[in-house]
Amino acid sequence: MAHANEVLHCYSRLAEHAQHMAQLAAAREWAQLPALETECAALIARLKDLPSAESLEPSLREQACQLIERIRADQETVARLVQPQLNDLLTRMGSLSAQRSLDKAYGPRH
């Protein structure tokens, strides 16, 4: 039973972090996301060492499934909000790279 409590605790913490990440992404507070992502990765690593949610008794399994659904929904929200920012960053990086190539070939702009 101790493992069941730890499994639910990890999923609960993941759900809290995912919800917080969705709130931060909605507020465009990008700087705080990596630390939360690191904490999520640690929780996921811990879950890999524990019995799976399928091994829980039915009522606990249902709780775990509800938490997983919340986590997935919040992850989708974060991905939807972060993706345009990543695309913009990649575009800017490509522009900088092209400019460096031009500067190298023809000298810097004045």
Mutual angle of helices 58-106 and 2-26, in 10-degree steps: 40
Q: pLDDT by residue for the chain (110 residues), tens digit each?
A: 568 899 999 999 999 999 999 999 999 999 999 999 999 999 999 999 998 888 889 999 999 999 999 999 999 999 999 998 887 777 878 888 888 887 788 877 76
- Is the pTM of the predicted complex or chain greater than 0.75? yes
Report the alpha-carbon distance of residue 5 to residue 10 in Å, rounded: 9
Report the alpha-carbon distance of residue 7 to residue 47 in Å, rounded: 7
Report the alpha-carbon distance of residue 2 to residue 9 in Å, rounded: 10
Report the alpha-carbon distance of residue 74 to residue 17 in Å, rounded: 9
Domains of the chain: 2-81 (1.20.58)
Helices (H), 1-110: 2-26, 33-48, 58-106
Q: Which pLDDT value is given to residue 73?
A: 98
